[in-house]
Every structure is written in structure tokens, then in C-alpha cells.
Amino acid sequence: MKNLILALFILFPAMVFAQGSRPGDDKIEAAKIAFFTQKLDLTTNEAKIFWPIYNDYQKELWALRRDRHKSMISFRKVTEIDDLSDSQVQNLIAGDFDFRQKDLNIEKKYYAKFKASGLSIKQIGKFYRAQEAFKKELLSRFRGGQNKQ
């Protein structure tokens, strides 16, 4: 029964993220959820607390990054800085800073939510460590796949 409940909490977010996403995103999200489940070792009650907060956190981050991509407020997307006015360069840099600040604000907001939820600080620490470990694993898999081609 515990595994069934946990599986429902795992599969539901993956289905939500799969809708309207790029090909392969649903597989990555499912792998991330499985990775977090293993690393965090949450009880059924802890999972009931963690996953809804995590899902909201991911939705906010995804929306912010989608908006950034749509508006193309990114210093890195400009190919030739010399073709822009000083004001345009300043706006691009300020826009990038704004994005990073909004991203940091979301991180802080959900850190506070995780703390207020009753999860232990060690579980929260494991979550942040698992996020970084998953990024490394995903990058490693991607690089491994690139080398095979």
C-alpha cells in the first residue's frame, strides 16, 4: 500500500509535466522523480508533504524560464555587442540580472515552504544535494550519448 501511494505521488507530477513539454522532457522528469525518491528516502507521509511543494516549485521555475526564453532577455543570445547601443546592452544585462533575481527569489520562497512543511532540515539538504547530483548525472548521460554518435 505504501508503494502504491508513493507511486501515485510520483506518476501524477510526471503526467502534469509531460503535457505541453518538449519530446523527452517527460522521461527526464520521471527519471528525476525516481532519483529524488531514492535519494530522499521519504516516508509516505513525508512524500505527501514534499511532492506537492516540489511540483509547485517546478511549475514556477519552468514558467519563469519559459518567459525568459520568450522575451529573449538574455545577454548570451546577442551575437554582436558592438552592433547594439549602450542603452540596449545595459537593458540586456539588467534583464539578465532581473531573471537571476527572480530565480533566486523562487528558490528562497520554496526553501521557506519546505522548512515550514515539517520536513527536517537534513531532508531539505538531501533534496538540494539530490538536485545537483541529478544535474551531474543528466549531463553525464547526455555527454555519453553525444560521444556514441
- Number of Cβ within 10 Å of residue 101's Cβ equals 10
Question: Would the CA dihedral through 8, 10, 13, 16 be positive or negative?
Answer: negative
* pLDDT at site 16: 45
Q: What is the mean pLDDT of residues 123-142?
A: 91
CA distance 50 to 33: 12
* pLDDT at site 88: 86
> Where do the domains of the chain lie?
2-148
pLDDT surpassing 50 at residue 8:
no
pTM: 0.72
